Amino acid sequence: MINNEELPIGFTMALAQHSDALNHFSHLSDAEQKQVIDEARQKHSREEMRNYVENMFQ
């Protein structure tokens, strides 16, 4: 299980605003979650993060 301290704050906030993405993310394996988090760390603005979360499971 991924430790909450490992989650970028912007990613956490964006997930909180998109319950469908949060639900999908929570059902991923640890390895899949790590991959999603690693990609989230590459986002450098609020808009980039929002777009990432809104589109990551489409």
Give the mean pLDDT of the chain: 92
The first and second tokens of residue 44, run together, are: 């450098």
Helix axes 9-16, 30-40, angle to 10 degrees: 110
pTM: 0.85
Of the chain, the percentage scoring pLDDT greater than 90 comes to 84
Angle between helices 30-40 and 46-55 in degrees, nearest 10: 150
Task: Report pLDDT digits (tens) over 30-56.
Answer: 999 999 999 999 999 999 999 999 999
- Residue 15: what pLDDT? 94
In the structure, what pLDDT confidence band is assigned to residue 4 with cuts at 50, 70 and 90?
A: low
Rounded Cα distance between 20 and 42, Å, is 22
